[in-house]
Structure 1
């Protein structure tokens, strides 16, 4: 059944409505329309310096299956207009997370590779998906490379100058094979296991930063900053110390966010508010508009890693509840001009938390997880100028009932990215002055489910559904039209023609 042509149900909620400018770090405007959801197109553009909003993945090299990775990217391209390769250059962050602070990437090259300790829970072994294999995969998928260089060396604590020379060898090899625009200096150096405060991290990264500025001026350094307070470290103080020790260099910044996983994961509203706080801090600390990349984000499964039954929570990282949270974070971040892009965690294997694809035991084929499908729907956000978007909506379980962002696409088309946590089909009133008095045709990519517990594997009782639908909206003389919004859904709606 065509989900956008079902009976429209008007929803009156007793919950308190709040109008939040989707432009999250701006001043919230007063709400209107407490009896209906309103999505308002504001003429102002969220202006990013130099480029459109970008997508990427944190590629966990230790667990990565490159054959499955290629299959899943091809699969998304066949199912949606939002093919990852047409997202105007998606990034692949390598070698992933905590492994970045343990290994020298040159030890992953060639037939005689070193045996490496890559995780506390795994025996030492060689890295099969090494630097050369990564560069092959980047070329195969038309991706953009993004390296995380080891400036921490969590196991050996080699001298910073020694690490700088090793990192130069890595950059030399990459430059011979691919265009490298960014190199991140360390992964989560603020975590308690590293025993580094902001000043200590700044001292360890300085030799690599100096080396890059002298020998690789075309590669943009990215410093790993703290998003929220961790282990007794205050985020603002930590970030200020890093900037002070390094002399406030002209660099980009990386932040990580895991959200919506009680106990242990902050709500989505809290997470986006925290992101805005870091934007304000970095503006004040540097005296300029910062360029911020969220190089890891995902839904926290809840609880703590050392809990004996923590594995039972892992489906919370890849079910449809996770897809809704991922979509809400992406849309919220896209409306903050200082945020240049977001990298979803993690493009790795089929087991463990945060998988982007799973292998079905019946047919042996690979299937994208619900968060992967949700992000694929939103790739058109990387193809145009995003507009400031205002919305009236209630909060639901710490997230927005609806969150949306308009984007101006090529050929004078407009698109709308939309996520709904509402459990009933809803009608939202669009207010687009540019369409006043027009009949407008639209085409929508929709991913939806009947339950937040749904996963995208065949045979599930509540499967994730993927549909493409078309329809028309009649806009009034003051630019208003009612858009049916499916329950529990992520959609990108492209307005294709006007009459």
Structure 2
């Protein structure tokens, strides 16, 4: 009888076709629980792609590369340690000619890409990036096409089209066996540009056509806006125009999302709702299986870049609150149908540093340690998880916990749970496994990240605890420490 019951559970997991379309997260007084359902969130999403990073070439080459522009063995080892496989190559894309980042590094010209750095040659160029991907064993490249021009001026489209075509050929030759993504422009609707959707489409379409002519297998990604600028009447209408204009080319779109600190970081609930709203719009526009990539995300440090003392808050991106914010966001992404991947900003990028450089000594950041903790196996699949949290978190959303449950290898005896506790109190969380797992004794392995003090530069510590437990009437209760992130591996004995 028990053998037949396991077979039924396995069949349900293998054949589940309903997907997470709406909100599966609820906040109420006094309850903390997760309910696992036998439905997968999205069969098209590789969970490993949630653990990508964005790389600015100039910050990366200053702190992480050798004199030839290649990432050092130490930097690569830190990336391998954190299981990073997806790196978005960008920065200065609306300003520079990619050819200036190629050929002999000693002959590359000085480039001005920011107001806070002296002009410098682009040493960590596309070839050096491809070399790093090879050493990491990465299967994907991610480039950003220049649709603006050079030296802060708009260039003729004919010139940019030829440049994009040649760039796509270069990438194809350097990464022939990788999936090659092309994001068409970067933050065109904000900053000094403030382009409307019509102009973005007008400038982007010839670029897309030339990339595909050079590389028909290239995957085109269209950037959208995740907030409503003062000059824009509706961000959703702006995005809808671009979705309709480019849906013959692509079903993949990009958003940038910063969170959990004013004024530029709304609550994570706000960000996830905005994401779901855009995915719903895409489906209404006739895209059956839209894919959204969060090509930049991170906790925002309180304040604005224009604030003279903003740098005093940079620690907030990867202190324990930054870790909890990032974990909260990634767990939320794992529950949304249509999310294809996410890139934390950034490898080295001002306030956001995945690898820290302390007097030329490299060290993994707390965010890198979070990536290592959550690193999913190839066989993990996200289950639609109904989460209920109490109200006592010290952050914009005010809830205490968020979690998600995953099946491992279509095995009805093996599951993994991601849990974040944003409360200053320890939480007992009821896991309702009734729909996916039989009652019985289980082995329970908890891995937990937390800090031992509240100082700005406190490092997270990993603890591992193995125990035996029992699922009774479909329920299992686990405990998660205050202000911490945990994974639980549950295996029926």
Aligned to 1:371, the other structure's residue is in SS state helix
Note the C-alpha offset of 1:272: 1.1
In structure 2, what is the equivalent of residue 487 of structure 1? 482
Could you tell me whether the CA contact under 8 Å between 2:47 and 2:334 is conserved in 1?
Answer: no
**Partners of 2:302 and 2:342 in 1: how far apart?**
22
Residues 437-467 of structure 1 show CA distances to partners (whole Å, capped at 9, x for unaligned) of: 2111122322112456543xxxxxx442122
Using the TM superposition, name which of 192-201 and 324-333 deviates more. 192-201
CA distance in 1, matches of 2:237, 2:58: 33
Q: Which residue of 1 aligns with 2:147?
A: 151
Stretch of structure 1 that moved more, 196-205 or 437-446: 437-446
2:321 paired with 1:321: yes
Which residue among 335, 351, 354 is the counterpart of 1:356?
A: 354
Provide the residue aligned with 1:9 in structure 2. Answer: none
Count of aligned pairs between the two proteins: 454
Distance 1:29 1:132 in 2: 43
Q: CA deviation at 1:138?
A: 0.8
TM-score for both structures, normalised by structure 1: 0.85
Say whether residues 1:106 and 2:94 are aligned partners: no
CA 1:270–1:30 in 2, change beyond 3 Å: closer, same or farther?
closer
2:50 aligned with 1:60: no
Matched position secondary structure for 1:193? coil
Q: Deviations over 1:470-499 (max 9, x none)?
A: 1222110x211110111111122222x322
After superposition, residues 175-186 of structure 1 pair within 5 angstroms as 175-178=172-175, 179-186=178-185
**How has the CA–CA distance of structure 1 residues 77 and 56 changed in structure 2, closer, same or farther, with 3 Å as cutoff?**
closer
Equivalent positions of 1:73-472 (< 5 A) are: 74-75=77-78, 83-84=82-83, 90-94=85-89, 96-97=90-91, 99-111=92-104, 112-143=107-138, 144-153=140-149, 155-178=152-175, 179-233=178-232, 234-246=234-246, 248-348=248-348, 352-361=350-359, 365-380=361-376, 383-395=379-391, 396=393, 397-399=395-397, 400-410=399-409, 412=411, 413-433=414-434, 434-450=436-452, 453-455=455-457, 462-472=458-468
Q: CA 1:442 to 1:365, structure 2 compared with 1: closer, same or farther past 3 Å?
A: farther
Q: 465-474 or 48-57, which moves further after superposition?
A: 48-57
Contact 2:83 2:371 in 1 (8 A): no
CA contact (8 A) 2:299 2:316 kept: yes
The verdict on how the C-alpha distance between 1:73 and 1:481 changes in structure 2, with shifts beyond 3 A counting, is farther
CA distance in 2, matches of 1:192, 1:387: 39
Unaligned segments of structure 1, at least 5 residues: 1-22, 456-461
For the Cα contact (< 8 Å) 1:324–1:374, is it kept in 2? no
Q: 1:220 Cα deviation (Å)? A: 0.6
User: CA shift at 1:120, angstroms?
Assistant: 2.5
Q: What is aligned with 1:3?
A: none
How far apart, in 2, do the equivalents of 1:494 and 1:277 lie? 33
Q: CA deviation at 1:374?
A: 1.5
Distance in 1 between residues matched to 2:75 and 2:108, nearest whole Å: 28
Tell me, in whole angstroms, the C-alpha distance in 1 between the residues paired with 2:43 and 2:454.
33
Taking only aligned residues, the RMSD between alpha carbons, in angstroms, comes to: 2.4
Query: Secondary structure at 1:62's aligned position in 2?
Result: helix
Gaps of 5+ in 2: 1-18
Structure 1 pair 468/36, CA: closer, same or farther in 2 (3 Å)? same
Q: Work out whether residues 59 and 348 of structure 1, in 8 Å CA contact, stay in contact via their aligned partners in 2.
A: yes
- Distance between the aligned counterparts of 2:249 and 2:331, measured in 1? 30
Quote the offset at 1:187 in angstroms: 0.9
The verdict on how the C-alpha distance between 1:408 and 1:49 changes in structure 2, with shifts beyond 3 A counting, is same
* Corresponding residue of 2:7: none
Three-state SS of the structure 1 residue aligned to 2:390 is strand
- The runs of 4+ residues in structure 1 deviating greater than 4 Å are 27-32, 50-53, 67-70, 75-78, 244-248, 450-454
